[in-house]
Amino acid sequence: LRLGENRAKVERMFGLMDRFLKNDPATLQNDIVNHVEYTVARSRFSFDDFEAYQALTHSVRDRLIERWHDTQICFRRKDPKRLYFLSLEYLMGRSLSNSVINLGIRDQYADALSQLGFDFEVLAEQEGDAALGNGGLARLSACQMDSLATLDYPAWGYGLRYQYGLFRQVILDGYQHEQPDYWLNFGNPWEIERIHVTYTVKFYGTVEEENFKGGKHKVWVPNETVEAVAYDNLIPGYGTRNTITLRLWAAKPSDQNDMESYNTGDYINAVVNRQRAETISSILYPDDRSHQGKELRLKQQYFFVSASLQDIIRRFKDTHSNFDDFPEKVALQLNDTHPSLAIAEVMRVLVDEENLSWSRAWDISCKIFTFTTHTVLPEASEKIPVDLLGSLLPRHLQIIYEINFRFLEELKKRIGLDYDRLSRMSIIEEGAVKSIRMANLSIVCSHTVNGVSKMHAELLKTRVFKDFYELWPHKFHYKTNGVTQRRWVVVSNPSLCALISKWLGTEAWIRDMDLLVGLQEYATNGDLHEEWKMVRKVNKMRLAEYIEAMSGVKVSVDAMFDVQLKRIHEYKRQFLNILGIIHRYDCIKNMEKKDRRNVVPRVCIIGGKAAPGYEIAKKIIKLCHAVAEKINNDPDIGDLLKLVFIPDYNITVAELVIPGADLSQHLSTAGHEASGTGCMKFLMNGCLLLATADGSTIEIIEEIGADNMFLFGAKVSEVPVLRKKAPNLKVPLQFARVVRMVRNGYFGFEDYFESLCDSVEVDNDFYLLGADFESYLEAQAAADKAFIDEEKWTQMSILSTAGSGRFSSDRTIDDYAEKTWGIERCRCPA
Ligand code: T68
């Protein structure tokens, strides 16, 4: 509406629009009860916890929508450079508590509900866990979205709305079984379906040439189309009105496809084809390393990329008539190589559809893309067979060939005819299966390539992408990962949050984690120690209750709670942890009764999912259960040692377990964990770390000092040396003994564990469990010793939290914004 057009109408409209929802208990109650009646369609006199949860969620959502609208209006008015974060995975977990805390109305809701006879925490437990991702990479995306919103950056997240998230892990007789996670079963009140935001995505077909302005023009003629429908998830910032969008795409059949089948009278096939279209966004691949050469995966990637880019370009064109300003207005962040087809797609759209010259289009592309890699292993990087790409996306294959041809021509000018190097750097890998190296494509087109920790960046420069680093040293950077303190302290550990705020005299640390260093000055304060211990104890009691309810194992809260939570992987060495536990058990068994008094009681907690096809990882899970069975039922051992496996590890479980952990283990063979973010969550919560110097732990050491943690194992530089020497190394006796116990069936299932034991035999021990074992046991002994000294332990715990400020994703995002994306904050007025 333009003023002057119809003043009276405008004033009336503004009068109506300016009425924001109020947050006093009476209004909140009224809203909740209205939603019970009009949204959930239950009687306002009778509704259960789940219905109350649904109504509550809708009333929170109304408030999110208000802020979200204002934010979008503000972005449109100011037209800042926008960041588009492209990721195939997001591990959001639950949204309710996070939303009301970020909106600053948690207490108001709790009051309103209690007057209605409901408990906020009980209702919050009704929510399922949104698990549209595998592990660290996916949770990082979620943390970064929270920081982007909180820091007022004009950002959009794009992803896929999988109908089936990461599988549910069910343990039967100690073996992992996978069950589908149909997370939308009970509806998802958090998302907003945008049926009008729909784009057509094309697949297969041929490329034809058309005459165009006196020259030739390529036209892709697809023979399959699928519709992408937007579902918006609103991400509220903390301490700001800004609320940004995570737009997830769902695949729906195109009407066009139906018509063809209906005409042939093949009604059944028409319906089957419709369903086939929907499979594109139906399931998340459950492998957290790589998915090589699968057609459905490639379809997912392109579906996601095409819909997102259509949306991004549409938004740009709303206010721009040509592409001159595109690089000043758009930053496209590739979260690993999974969305890297976006490079070929941008080129296709600019050249084929927008009629820009190749060099103009390439110039624009090279200014908008930035790439972050999350892996260390060259063999884990994504490759797409040329045949597969050529059949699914024929025009994109041509474009990638053209990019590669021009790149190699340039490269020859720079380095001459060094064919080995040319072939290593080529985007196309020749070989039995000719394929596209997605990392090479991403590096060639991105102006900035980021690693996720200082160590990771070093490995990228010296090993993984050495050739590229030598060519373009200016492209290579790193942004050490971080996690959001809103989720990992404020939501999940409210009593610690209150304690920190009390001692710092401010809540400002929730937006500025550097303030946590202020705790250092109280690290020896007796009053803080008492309160700190009390908070930790209550969290441990909550965790103990959960463990008993879930596994039937009663654990003592006086024991040290020792936790390892992460995807099960050989390089993360959960097997080392279990062998250490066996060693501890063996030692206690062989001890004189009187000496047992000196043993520090432990509750060892392990949790994590194994990729369904990852046999060795599944054996590690079974071994954990077999060992637990023996130890937990040994009357000789009692409370001195317990081992529990936490099934179906997810974000919600992490929120419960992390605040209750005394010690957490991060055991990756040095040089294998690109960063690691779990350690940061434990650190913030005052949990001590037992870790190798790998990934981000190297930087944690810089912040809190090696004295405040338990370090062990070979260093990054020593690992390759040890590997060379490995076959001639002497295996420590203790190591040989515990492996033999497993091998000889001390815990049963000896045949099943044979290959697991083989994997750590001296000439086979790629991850160096044997080589690191003694040092691991020493670190464990040091942890025991520190735990007995309660005052020392508490001091270390306080210093861990105090030193965790650097590991906030706010720091990471500010760094990306300034140095990589070139975006500025854009705050929506209050
Ligand atoms: C993780 N990578 C790194 N990959 O392992 C971890 N891969 O060190 C780092 O902290 C984290 O990323 C965040 O940077 C992953 O989680 C995947 O999940 C993945 C998923 C699909 C395909 C390949």
Q: Which protein residue's CA is at the shortest distance from atom 23 of ligand 1?
A: 289
Residue with tokens 């994306």: 821
Two tokens at 661? Answer: 């952990």
pLDDT tens readout for residues 517-528: 999 999 999 999
Pocket residue to mutate for ligand 1, from 288, 292, 566, most atoms within 8 A of Cβ: 288
Q: Which protein residue's CA is at the shortest distance from atom 21 of ligand 1?
A: 288
Q: Which protein residue's CA is at the shortest distance from atom 15 of ligand 1?
A: 137
Ligand 1 atom nearest 456 alpha carbon: 8
Kindly indicate the confidence band of residue 91, based on its pLDDT and cuts at 50, 70 and 90.
very high
Ligand 1 atom nearest 676 alpha carbon: 10
Kindly indicate the confidence band of residue 592, based on its pLDDT and cuts at 50, 70 and 90.
very high
What is the structure's pLDDT at 34?
97
What value does the mean pLDDT take over residues 18-22? 82
pLDDT tens readout for residues 174-201: 999 999 999 999 999 999 999 999 999 9
pLDDT tens readout for residues 485-513: 999 999 999 999 999 999 999 999 999 99
Q: Which protein residue's CA is at the shortest distance from atom 20 of ligand 1?
A: 288
pLDDT above 90 for 741: yes
Two tokens at 19? Answer: 């009425």
Q: Which protein residue's CA is at the shortest distance from atom 18 of ligand 1?
A: 288
Ligand 1 atom nearest 285 alpha carbon: 21
Residue 82: φ, ψ to 5°: -110, 145
Two tokens at 402? Answer: 């053209």
What is the structure's pLDDT at 3?
55
- Please state, in angstroms and rounded to a whole number, the distance separating the CA atoms of residues 29 and 17: 22
Report the share of the chain in percent with pLDDT over 90.
91
Residue with tokens 């001091």: 795
Residues sharing a CB contact under 8 Å with residue 742, sequence separation 6 or more, in sequence order: 579, 582, 623, 750, 753, 756, 757
What is the structure's pLDDT at 189?
95
Residue with tokens 């009691």: 541
CA of 418 relative to ligand 1 center, distance in Å: 33
Report the share of the chain in percent with pLDDT over 70.
98
Residue 371, SS3 per DSSP:
strand
Two tokens at 237? Answer: 């910032």
Pocket residue to mutate for ligand 1, from 137, 372, 813, most atoms within 8 A of Cβ: 137
Ligand 1 atom nearest 481 alpha carbon: 14
Kindly indicate the confidence band of residue 260, based on its pLDDT and cuts at 50, 70 and 90.
low
pLDDT tens readout for residues 796-812: 999 999 999 999 999 99
CA nearest neighbour of 520 among 802, 297, 173, 312: 802
Length of the chain: 830
What value does the mean pLDDT take over residues 138-143? 98
What is the structure's pLDDT at 812?
98
Kindly indicate the confidence band of residue 261, based on its pLDDT and cuts at 50, 70 and 90.
low
The answer to whether the CB of 658 falls within 8 A of the CB of 687 is yes
pLDDT above 70 for 604: yes
Kindly indicate the confidence band of residue 263, based on its pLDDT and cuts at 50, 70 and 90.
low
CA of 137 relative to ligand 1 center, distance in Å: 4
pLDDT tens readout for residues 207-247: 999 988 888 899 999 999 999 999 999 999 999 999 999 99
What is the structure's pLDDT at 478?
98
pLDDT above 80 for 130: yes
What is the structure's pLDDT at 290?
81
The answer to whether the CB of 477 falls within 8 A of the CB of 452 is no
The answer to whether the CB of 306 falls within 8 A of the CB of 284 is no
What is the structure's pLDDT at 215?
82
Two tokens at 6? Answer: 């119809």
- Please state, in angstroms and rounded to a whole number, the distance separating the CA atoms of residues 308 and 150: 23
Q: Which protein residue's CA is at the shortest distance from atom 7 of ligand 1?
A: 289
What is the structure's pLDDT at 377?
82
pLDDT tens readout for residues 406-433: 999 999 999 999 999 999 999 999 999 9
CA of 336 relative to ligand 1 center, distance in Å: 9
- Across all residues in the chain, what is the average pLDDT? 96
Q: Which residues pair with 641 in a beta bridge?
A: 602
The answer to whether the CB of 813 falls within 8 A of the CB of 148 is yes
CA of 695 relative to ligand 1 center, distance in Å: 12
Q: Which residues pair with 175 in a beta bridge?
A: 172
What value does the mean pLDDT take over residues 443-470? 98
CA of 136 relative to ligand 1 center, distance in Å: 5
CA of 135 relative to ligand 1 center, distance in Å: 6
Residues sharing a CB contact under 8 Å with residue 542, sequence separation 6 or more, in sequence order: 656, 659, 660
Q: Where are the alpha helices (DSSP H) in 240-292?
A: 255-263, 267-278
CA of 585 relative to ligand 1 center, distance in Å: 33
The answer to whether the CB of 15 falls within 8 A of the CB of 9 is no
What is the structure's pLDDT at 289?
82
Residues 417-433 as b/e (b if ≥16 CB within 10 A, e otherwise) read eeeebbeebbbbbeeee
Q: Where are the alpha helices (DSSP H) in 18-95?
A: 25-38, 49-78
Quote ipTM for the complex: 0.98
The answer to whether the CB of 338 falls within 8 A of the CB of 301 is yes
What is the structure's pLDDT at 209?
94
Q: Which residues pair with 605 in a beta bridge?
A: 563, 644
Give 451-481 as a DSSP string. Answer: ESSHHHHHHIIIIITHHHHHH-GGGEEE---
Ligand 1 atom nearest 673 alpha carbon: 8
pLDDT tens readout for residues 464-482: 999 999 999 999 999 999 9
Taking the CA of residue 730 as centre, how many other CA atoms within 13 Å lie in the half-sphere pointing to its CB?
4
What is the structure's pLDDT at 608?
98
What is the structure's pLDDT at 438?
97
Residues 2-36 as b/e (b if ≥16 CB within 10 A, e otherwise) read eeeeeeeeeeeeeeeeeeeeebebeebbebbbebb
The answer to whether the CB of 334 falls within 8 A of the CB of 370 is yes
The CA angle 214-217-222, to the nearest 5 degrees, is: 150
CA of 677 relative to ligand 1 center, distance in Å: 10
Q: What positions carry a catalytic annotation?
A: 374, 566-567, 572, 677, 681
Pocket of ligand 1 (CB under 6 A): 134-138, 140, 288-290, 374, 452, 481, 673-677, 695
Q: Which protein residue's CA is at the shortest distance from atom 13 of ligand 1?
A: 137
What is the structure's pLDDT at 266?
79
pLDDT tens readout for residues 37-74: 999 999 989 999 999 999 999 999 999 999 999 999 99
What is the structure's pLDDT at 4?
60
What value does the mean pLDDT take over residues 145-173? 98
- Please state, in angstroms and rounded to a whole number, the distance separating the CA atoms of residues 280 and 211: 34
What is the structure's pLDDT at 5?
61
Ligand 1 atom nearest 134 alpha carbon: 18
593 against 14, higher pLDDT: 593
